[in-house]
Chain A
Amino acid sequence: MFGRGDYVMYSSLILLPFFAVIILNLPLRAFMRKAALWVSLFILLMQICFIVYPAACSFSNSLDIFGMFLKFNFVVDNLSRVLLFCIGVVTLCSILVEKYIIDDEERLFNFINISLLLLAGMNGIVMLRDIFSLYVFIEIVAVGSFILIGFNKDIHAFEAAFKYIMLSVISTVMMLSAIALLLILAGGTSFSVLSAALKSSPDTLLVSFVIGIFLCAAFIKAGLMPFHGWLPDTYSEAPAAVSVLLAGIVTKTVGVYVLIRVVNSVFGFDDPLKYILLVVGAVSAVFGALAALGQSDFKRMLAYSSISQVGYIIMGLGCATELGLAGAVFHLFNHSIFKSLLFVNSAAVEFQTGTRDMNKLSGLAEKMPITGTTSVLALLSTAGIPPLSGFWSKLIIVIALWTAGFYLFAMIAILASVLTLAYLLSMQRRVFFGKLGEGLREVKEAGPEIVIPALLLALILVGVGLFFPFIINAFVFPVGNILGG
């Protein structure tokens, strides 16, 4: 339970972005266009501040005016806080990257407006404990993501947006069908009512069907294999800043978080469900890594890498132990940070060189030292090299798998980690190391709008890795306590 101040604080995470968009689009648009960037950065920094140091936000009580009209029922636990922090950081980085890439003030203004609405949607998803409300907020993110993917309005962007929305619609239909059946079974849509009803339901066939279609819907949203059809095209063809947002946090929130939350709080873990999660996770981890090995497009390789890393998270969830869940959420956090960093780096490379084809790139570390260095840190963390943060989360997942008796899956996780190192080292060698490629003499380091987010994300990666002994007790293990809650 949280007090009045906390309630106001968490309500404002949905209401502030929403009202900011309304105010930014009132008359005086010329002034508002200039103010939009600073307003969005202020809201995002405030969200990060809320989560990192809530006591500093006592001024949020002055926002209590919202409470006069709107009464939301939120439950915010450690898992929600981790996601809220990631949402703040990644959206901030995405807006800064877009600021660097877009010259047109009007387009940047539109991007910021949609990003703020996405922010409200994602914040709502991680704080709500009602499955129908969850669905409504997932739809906000789906509509916003579709618009952002097609933002550049070229044929490839529209194709990617079309693929995304088609699979998103299939996922939506499955999710809505599951919610309708759950409503029939339980007579309500709140997590506590559903959980109690499923435990006592005599109709196991119908319950299995509901869980099956909901899992498929969440797998599509999370881009897990074999439900990943939309993901490689979408990540690679979307504008650079949108790729950061999608890969860094959107799919993690609407797919992975929803899966973790609903399985943990509503469905509960039984043996068939555990094995479904473990198998889908293992297939995604291995085949995602194998597919990434064969790519020459920088962003497409990162897209397959994302599928592989989400596979790890799902394997951790499939353990159904406190340690496994803690590892899954910790890897979700790490993946959000290092994948955002890799996409920020790919944005810098694409913007400065005009290509994403890794066969045409070489030796860029000489010309782009900050991008090259942060890329090394991100790849080492992704591959699970100590002492970076990715190592610890992968270690926890492997230990959780082993101690839960899933020896085969623990070995698969280690194998996938070796494959991860292989394709990321290949990327680093082709793009950043070696002799400077032809036609790349004039390339310069990207501007501060890209370098600052890259440094911020790299700092988080290194900091979390080095201070792990403190973080494991303060944040990681407490997250595992939500098991079955």
Chain B
Amino acid sequence: MSIFDGITLFSLVAAALWTVMTRSLLRSAIGLALTSAILTVIMFRLNSPLAAVFELSVCSGLISVLFVSVISLTHPLTIQEVIQHMKERMARFWVLPFLVIAIGITLILFNIKPEIRLPAPETVKDVRVVMWNLRQVDVMGQIIILLTGAFGVVVLFKERIKK
């Protein structure tokens, strides 16, 4: 692992932490987009350009636009609510660092090193063949998920839009 890989992985964790810890929903959405963008870099480094492009366009682009649109329909918390929320949230997360350390110690103590051999990157297959011949049913499924999500916005937010 090169220094660059180390920096990108650290940035990924930092961006993900910022996403879940920040108190502003809007900043959280931006954090998610940033996390996706860093993940895109990692995917390029792992010789998966197709996955990287999808990550960048869908997760970093489309999903962020959706989040920001929905957040604009919500009302911000009051100061008291924010303070209360911060207290509760910190109480919720204090176990996490200990859990990560415990898992690390377990892996070291038991010398757990699964032999994972990554398959060769599938650069030979044309994207059109993958999408329309091999994974057609998945594309269909994704379209249905998007349609269901669109109905979700209509069903759960339409009243608020009217107001």
Contact = CB atoms under 8 A, between A and B. Distances in A.
Contacts of B137: 72-73, 124, 128, 130, 133, 136
Interface in B116-163: 116-119, 133, 135-138, 140-145, 147-149, 151-152, 154-156, 159
A14 B140 contact: yes
B114 A143 contact: no
Contacts of A181: 116
Nearest to A186: B119
B154 A143 contact: no
A137 interface: yes
A117 B148 contact: yes
Interface residues of B, number: 27
A140 B152 contact: no
A70 B136 contact: yes
A103 interface: no
B140 A114 contact: no
Contacts of A37: none
A133 B147 CA distance: 17
Interface in B74-105: none
Contacts of B141: 121, 124, 133, 136-137, 139-140
A136 B154 contact: no
Interface string A177-198: 0000101100100000000000
A151 B138 contact: no
A21 interface: yes
Interface in A50-99: 70-73
A121 B156 contact: no
Contacts of B148: 114, 117-118, 121, 140, 143-144, 147
A110 interface: yes
A18 B144 contact: yes
Contacts of B117: 184
B151 A117 contact: yes
B114 A203 contact: yes
A124 B136 CA distance: 13
A276 to B, nearest CB: 20
Contact of B119 (A21, A187, A203): A187
Contacts of B138: 132-133, 136
B7 interface: no
B144 A121 contact: yes
A281 interface: no
Nearest to B118: A184
Interface of B: 112, 114-119, 133, 135-138, 140-145, 147-149, 151-152, 154-156, 159
Interface of A is mostly: helix
24 contacts: A14-B140, A72-B140, A73-B137, A110-B151, A114-B151, A117-B147, A117-B151, A118-B148, A121-B141, A128-B137, A133-B138, A139-B141, A140-B144, A140-B145, A143-B149, A144-B148, A147-B151, A147-B152, A147-B156, A153-B159, A181-B116, A184-B118, A203-B114, A209-B114
A150 interface: yes
A286 interface: no
Interface in A168-216: 181, 183-184, 187, 202-203, 205-206, 209
A470 B121 CA distance: 53
Interface residues of A, number: 40
Nearest to B112: A205
Nearest to A71: B136
Contacts of B155: 110, 114, 147, 151
A120 interface: yes
B147 A206 contact: no
Given A184-B119, A209-B114, A146 B152 contact: yes
Contacts of A420: none
Contact of A150 (B118, B140, B144, B156): B156
A338 to B, nearest CB: 29
Contacts of A18: 140, 143-144, 147
Contacts of A133: 135, 137-138, 141
Contacts of B140: 14, 18, 70, 72
Interface in A243-294: none
A143 B151 CA distance: 10
A113 interface: yes
Contacts of B135: 132-133
Given A72-B137, A124-B141, A133-B138, A206 B156 contact: no
A231 B146 CA distance: 25
B142 A136 contact: yes
B72 to A, nearest CB: 19
A205 to B, nearest CB: 6
A121 B151 CA distance: 15
A442 B142 CA distance: 49
Given A114-B155, A117-B148, A124-B137, A205 B119 contact: no
A194 B27 CA distance: 41
Contacts of B151: 110, 113-114, 117, 147
Nearest to A127: B137
Contacts of A147: 148, 151-152, 155-156
A71 B131 CA distance: 12
Q: Most chain-B Cβ atoms within 10 A of its Cβ — which of A21, A143, A205?
A: A143
Contacts of A70: 136, 140
Contacts of A71: 133, 136
B156 A139 contact: no
A206 B144 contact: no
Contact of B156 (A14, A72, A117, A153): A153
